Amino acid sequence: MQALILASGMGTRMGALTADRPKCMTPLPDGETILSRQLRQLISAGIQRIVITTGAFADVLTGYVSSLSLSAEIVFVHNPEFASTNYIYSMHLAGSSLSGDMLLIHGDLVFEDTVLDMIAGSRESAMAVSTTLPLPEKDFKAVIEEDRITAVGIGFTENAAAAQPLYKLLDSDRRIWFAKIAEYCSSGDEAKRKCYAENAFNEVSESCCIRPVDFTGLLCSEIDDPSDLEAVSAELEKLRSRSVYMCFSSDFIHSGHIRMIRRAAKLGRLTVGIMTDEAVTAYKHFPLVPYDERAQLFGNINGVAEVTAQETLSYRKILSTLRPDIVVHGSDWRNGFQQPVRSEVISVLSSYGGKLVEFPFSDDKITSAAEMEMRAELALPDHRRGILRKLLAVKRPVTAIEAHSGLTGLIAENSRVYENGSVRQFDAMWISSLCDSTSRGKPDIELVDLTARMRTVNEIMEVTTKPVIFDGDTGGLTEHFVYTVRTLERTGVSMVIIEDKTGLKKNSLFGTEVAQTQADTDEFCRKITAGKNALKTDELMICARIESLILGKGSDDALARAHAYVAAGADAIMIHSRSSSPDEVLVFARSFRETNSYTPLVCVPTSYCSATEEELSSAGINIVIYANQLTRSAFPAMQKAADSILRTHSAAECDSMCMPFKEIIRLIPEE
Ligand code: SPV
Ligand code: MG
């Protein structure tokens, strides 16, 4: 790509500053001139051929440029009629020296590197505009319609944005505009050599596609008179101390991140926020790489001055602490669930004069390829098994939902709701004995054997990445349990819950309506200890489930058992209840926490479904399991569909209750 700098003008409004030199040679505070700054920026952006139009003080200008010993090819095109024409004529004269895509810049424009990057990096023709700056009275405005610039000039106000003469023109647009310019300049009409080149553009704008590129918050100003020079000089001073913030939640670094960091670092001193494990967990999944390592990785990238922890998806707290001048983000968050986060950032920034700079996001392919790879890794048994323990350290409560098949596993894995710019999702999956048995049309009496249960576990694990909590019923004979835990450990299960029952187990929700026997405490303790001793890692957690409340034995019995099971090695305690109120579970949890603050507590609010996660967690519960809701909601839906077909002798009525077949075939993404 090449560049055209228009530097033929007289610059009379600059007074003494242009008495012996062209305006583009006006010195800036840091020792550069407007032109030498532009040339340096263009060359460092990779531009190797630069055409400069000259007019007033042409010799001074060419001599000055050659004294700069630049590494790019510089071509001068002189406009001998500079005093009586406008830059449209200089562009006309330069036209034959140009080919391909180009940048077009007025020689009195001062802009920062990022603005040039945004324009030069645009895939389409582009012009620098600010959609939020007030419309300038005497300077250019661009009319924007459907994200295209349809006219540029001083007089427009409707759908207009402040615009600066910094363009990228793709070859096709350049040809169209320059052909019109040639027509203007060869028409013999003097007025058409004195008008703006944009007058010609406005006649052909329908055939061109120039996109507005928003430079709001960044320096991009023309210098027309000494007061402009003063304002721009002050801006340049400010740039030196400008602070920039951007945040990453990623486990891996790819070329897109490096590009973003490079661009952000050009804006000022860059602090990178790294989302804490807790924050990443809440919004995506438990990070593969822990916070400290991620902070080190990002901290070592060139351009990153500092790293800091961002504790939530919301930027409010960190922005209030750091008060950066600029926040950088990919433009992808304008759509999707992060919109409220973005709005909050804009409002916090505007409260103290900070600005948001968004870079176009073009790394979808790299990101999704890396994410696919990461998902594969997340699903590996050795990775998945330890996640629940890690989750327990950063999140309360951890939530799990029942899954009994690949499909319900996918629902547990992928269900998300977006709430105020944040995401809510389940943390883990519960492989319920009730639902696993029910889906096979069998009673929940340990009739479905371990081999069949493991088939379900594998089916679910094959299509998911979240940790699995396995309902181990009574755990069977201690002599069998020691083998079961090893099988679960090898498979990547994170927790097995065994209930303190003995004999023929029936589902707890029957309570005392059926004959059920609670296990002897010591005997159950021996099972727990044997299970713990059989394990090869300390990642698979053995959770002891207490049935005292179910069997009407009261809270004291439950508490005594809980302490005994913990002493025997239980990694967690599940307290079960079939009461319609959560009170007995809450009382148990609070009492247990009086003497034990560390052992995770698990509960299953099926009968006391009115309990909220907040209520349970504030009493000391760590894991809330929604144990059967997918099975219980699917069954009536299926029953209704079957009844409807039988009743109406047709599938027509039932069709409206069903997912469209186009969706069902796309429900399972192909990898
Ligand atoms: C299960 O889901 O299989 C359970 C929980 O064990 S409950 O059905 O409430 O006993
Ligand atoms: Mg069960």
pLDDT tens-digit readout, 459-469:
999 999 999 99
Mutate to test the pocket of ligand 1, among 434, 496, 510, 548 (most ligand atoms within 8 A of CB): 434
Average pLDDT over residues 29-41: 93
CA 510 to ligand 2 centroid distance, Å: 12
Which-ligand-closest: CA of 507? Answer: 1
- Atom nearest to 545 CA in ligand 1: 6
Which residue has better confidence, 177 or 138? 177
- Atom nearest to 628 CA in ligand 1: 2
Reduce the DSSP state of residue 88 to 3 states and report it.
helix
Ligand 1 within 6 A of CB of 116: no
CA 203 to ligand 1 centroid distance, Å: 74
Q: What is the pLDDT of residues 478-489, one digit of tens each?
A: 999 999 999 999
pLDDT tier at 359 (50, 70, 90 boundaries)?
A: confident
Ligand 1 within 6 A of CB of 516: no
Average pLDDT over residues 78-104: 93
Which-ligand-closest: CA of 627? Answer: 1
Per-residue pLDDT at 360 exceeds 80: no
Ligand 1 within 6 A of CB of 205: no
Virtual CA dihedral for 164, 168, 171, 176, nearest 10 degrees?
-10
Which residue type does 241 have?
A: S
Q: What is the pLDDT of residues 653-663, one digit of tens each?
A: 999 999 998 88
- Atom nearest to 430 CA in ligand 1: 2
Distance CA 431, CA 450 (A): 12
- The mean predicted confidence, pLDDT, of the chain is 93
pLDDT at 217: 82
pLDDT tier at 422 (50, 70, 90 boundaries)?
A: confident
Per-residue pLDDT at 27 exceeds 80: yes
CA 408 to ligand 1 centroid distance, Å: 17
Per-residue pLDDT at 363 exceeds 70: no
- Atom nearest to 576 CA in ligand 1: 9
Distance CA 203, CA 193 (A): 15
Instruction: Dihedral sign for Cα 40, 46, 48, 54, please.
Output: negative
Please choose, from the candidates 572, 578, 521, the residue with its C-alpha nearest in 3D space to the C-alpha of residue 552: 578
What is the per-residue burial (b if ≥16 Cβ within 10 Å, else e) of 595-626? eeeebbbbbbbbbbeebebeebbebbbbbbbb
Q: What is the pLDDT of residues 611-634, one digit of tens each?
A: 999 999 999 999 999 999 999 999
Please choose, from the candidates 441, 431, 428, 440, the residue with its C-alpha nearest in 3D space to the C-alpha of residue 403: 431
DSSP state of 169: E
Per-residue pLDDT at 670 exceeds 90: no
Per-residue pLDDT at 364 exceeds 70: no
In this structure, the number of other CB atoms found within 10 A of the CB of residue 671 comes to 7
Tell the residue number behind the tokens 């840091």, with chain if given. Answer: 30
pLDDT at 671: 62
Distance CA 622, CA 393 (A): 10
Per-residue pLDDT at 2 exceeds 70: yes
Structure tokens at 132: 């939020």
Per-residue pLDDT at 525 exceeds 80: yes
Q: What is the pLDDT of residues 288-346, one digit of tens each?
A: 899 999 999 999 999 999 999 999 999 999 999 999 999 999 888 888 888 889 999 99
444 an active-site residue?
yes
Which long-range contacts (C-beta less than 8 Å, at least 24 apart) are formed by 12-16?
Answer: 13/224, 13/225, 14/223, 14/224, 14/225, 14/226, 14/229, 15/225, 15/226
Mutate to test the pocket of ligand 1, among 453, 580, 604, 609 (most ligand atoms within 8 A of CB): 604
Per-residue pLDDT at 362 exceeds 80: no
Tell the residue number behind the tokens 């309570």, with chain if given. Answer: 511
Task: State the SS3 of 501-539.
Answer: EECCCCCHHHHHHCCCEECCHHHHHHHHHHHHHHCCCCC
φ, ψ dihedrals at 35, nearest 5°: -70, -45
Question: Which residue among the candidates 444, 471, 473, 500 is catalytic per the annotation?
Answer: 444
Q: What is the pLDDT of residues 527-578, one digit of tens each?
A: 999 999 999 999 999 999 999 999 999 999 999 999 999 999 999 999 999 9
Lowest mean pLDDT, pick from 255-264, 446-455, 551-560:
255-264
Ligand 1 within 6 A of CB of 93: no
- Atom nearest to 437 CA in ligand 1: 3
Q: What percent of the chain has pLDDT over 70?
A: 99
Q: What is the pLDDT of residues 215-226, one digit of tens each?
A: 888 999 999 999
pLDDT at 385: 97
Ligand 1 within 6 A of CB of 160: no
pLDDT at 161: 93
pLDDT at 124: 94
Lowest mean pLDDT, pick from 202-206, 231-235, 355-359, 470-474:
355-359
Q: What is the pLDDT of residues 157-175, one digit of tens each?
A: 889 999 999 999 999 999 9
CA 378 to ligand 1 centroid distance, Å: 27
pLDDT at 515: 82
pLDDT at 665: 80
Reduce the DSSP state of residue 621 to 3 states and report it.
coil
Distance CA 448, CA 440 (A): 9
